[in-house]
Each structure stands twice: as C-alpha cells, then as structure tokens.
Amino acid sequence: MASSGSGNGGCRRGCLMMLLGGVATLLLIGLFGVVVVGLLTGAGWEAQLGGGPEDERPRLKERWSYGSGTVKAVRIPLEGIILRERRSGFLAPQYDRVESVLRQIRAAAADKAVRGILLEVESPGGVVGACDEIRNALLEFRKGGDRQVVVWIRGMAASGAYYISVAGDWIVAQPASLVGSIGVLLSALNWSALSEKIGITNVTIKSARYKDLLNPFREVEPEERQIVQRVVDSAHQMFMAAVAEGRGLEQSEVAALADGRIFVAEEAVRLGLVDEVGYWSTAYRRLRERIGVQRLKLIRYEGSAGVLQFLASAARGMAPWGWEGFMMEPRLMYLWSP
C-alpha cells in the first residue's frame, strides 16, 4: 500500500511538472507570435506588449467586417456633429467622437498591412478646427500615394463633413444623400434688450476694447461685426481652397457653389463635387479597384463608435447627433443648420 501511495505521489508531481511546462511553452509561443505580428504590422514589439506610444500607434481591437484576402482596409464611421467633447455621464464612458475618428486613422496608418480606408459619412458638419484635424489626418494617411481613401456618403455630407470628404481619393454618394453646404457659420445669442427689460446689469472688466467680442449683454458694434466677418471669410476661403484642391476644380467654379447650398447626389456628381452615385457595395468595389486587388479584407475597430456614442448621448438626455447646446457659446462652424 505504501508503495502504491508513493507511486501516486510521483505521478502527481510528474503531471504537475508537465502542466507547468506546457503553460510555459504556450506563453513563449504567444510572446513570439506577438512580436511577429508587431513586426508585420509595423506597430513594433513594444507597442504589442503595451509599452509603445498609445496615442501615436493606438492598439485597437480589430473585427473582421467584410471581404477576404491578405490585403486589408479599414472602415471608419464619421457620424453626427463633429466637435470635441470629453464629458461623461451616468452609465456612459468618456467619449470624444473627434478623437475616436483620429485614433482609428492613426491606428490604420501605423498598420503596414492596411492599404486603404472606407470612410462612411453621415454628418451635417461641425467645428472648423475639429474638421480640419480629421481632414489633415486623412491626407497624412494618403501621403506617398500607396494608400487609398474612398468616401461613402450614406445620408449627408454637409459643410464640415464635406470638407473632410474632399480629402478622399474617390467619393460615392448614396442616391438620396445631401452634399455640399460649402460655407461658414458663427452664431451667438444676444439678450441685451431682454436684460434691459428685466433689469439685469452686465459687469465685464476687460483689458482692451474688443476683448469681449459678441458679449450677449450688449449690442454688437459695427467694428466688431467686421472683425468677426473677417474671421468667417478666412475660414470660408480655406474651405473653398480645400474643395478646389481635393476635387480638381478651379477656384471660380467652387466660389459659384460656395454659398451654403446643399445638393442632391446626382447634381453633386454633375457639378464635380462627387465622383459617382452608389451604395456601400459601390464604395467597397471602388476601394478594391483603386488599391488594385481582386480580394480585399475590410476590418473595423471595436468600441470605436456606435454604442459608446449612443450611451454618452443618452446619459446626458441628448439625441445621438449630440447638439449638446453648442450654440450657447460662439463657435466657428462648418455646419449645415437649416
């Protein structure tokens, strides 16, 4: 009996050693695989192990979305009003739709296996600075000419959303979509007349005459309107230059269309603002053709939009497009606002 117990103990020790050895082997294989993936994607082993620059090369979880093959492209949604917001509410994580889009573009740029971006647009535009950031990121992604950006306008690409769209190599617009609204908006509330009626007095201590431009408690002076108008005109010129460059149009052609009008898809094609009318499958096919492959694997980054955006909006009692009361303070906007 003693001999049998001793044998069982030896067996248990042997099995334990084999188990530990197997676990160690799996860990080594996993580590080796991580390093290999990092080298192939260009992310670097330190990024794969969590020690790389997260903001420069974001480590986002991929989900296979569509198609197949060894050549990869990323589908990135651009939805809602384009402005930075870092507030969070009950049950909602901190969400910044601008940073979300930028992180996805940076992740795609850092991955050498990614040859293209399919940008899916449904937006009326947004803040000038935020739109310009995203446009510049797309241009950086395309730099070198070996990567392609195809834009699919799902329902609307107005104002700042169109400003971003012209950074693409090809634009496809869904037949019922609205395009354009090339212009700039700066709005501010003024309740000086109301404050006089109800006896509210404004006290503003300022260092110079124009430090409180668009102060809502007093009338706007003509000189102040001229100052603000110059800012708006400058942003308008930047918008028109971007459209002319991106669409291969003359400045005079763009200027004739840059009065804030929106266009249906077919008219936008005729005017040169869009390349063709079509659906998502059309945009996917164009991206595949421009990259020059028969098969193209589309991936998307998990947790980059959708649920996070909905929760962040719902927690504040706002609609998913997130108007967020931005009109309460003056903002320079590339925004279609009917």
Burial group, residue 305, by CB count within 10 angstroms (0-12, 13-18, 19+)? buried
- Told to judge if 159 belongs to the known catalytic residues of this protein, a careful annotator would answer yes
Q: Tokens for 271, please give them.
A: 């005017």
Catalytic pick among 159, 165, 181, 304: 159
141: which strand partners? Answer: none
Instruction: Write the DSSP string, 119-187.
Output: EEEEE-EEEHHHHHHHHHHHHHHHTTSS-EEEEEEEEEEETHHHHHHTTSSEEEE-TT-EEE----EE-
Whole-angstrom Cα Rg for the chain: 27
- 170, 275 in Cβ contact below 8 A? yes
- 82, 126 in Cβ contact below 8 A? yes
185: which strand partners? Answer: 333
CA distances (Å), origin 67, targets 36, 109, 119, 149, 284: 24, 20, 16, 17, 9
**Neighbour count for residue 217 (Cβ, 10 Å):** 16
Catalytic pick among 68, 112, 211, 234: 211
Residue 142 sits at the vertex; the CA angle it makes with 136 and 145, to the nearest 5 degrees, is 145
Nearest to 163 by CA among 145, 187, 177, 183: 183
Nearest to 159 by CA among 47, 273, 53, 248: 273
Give the active site residues: 159, 211
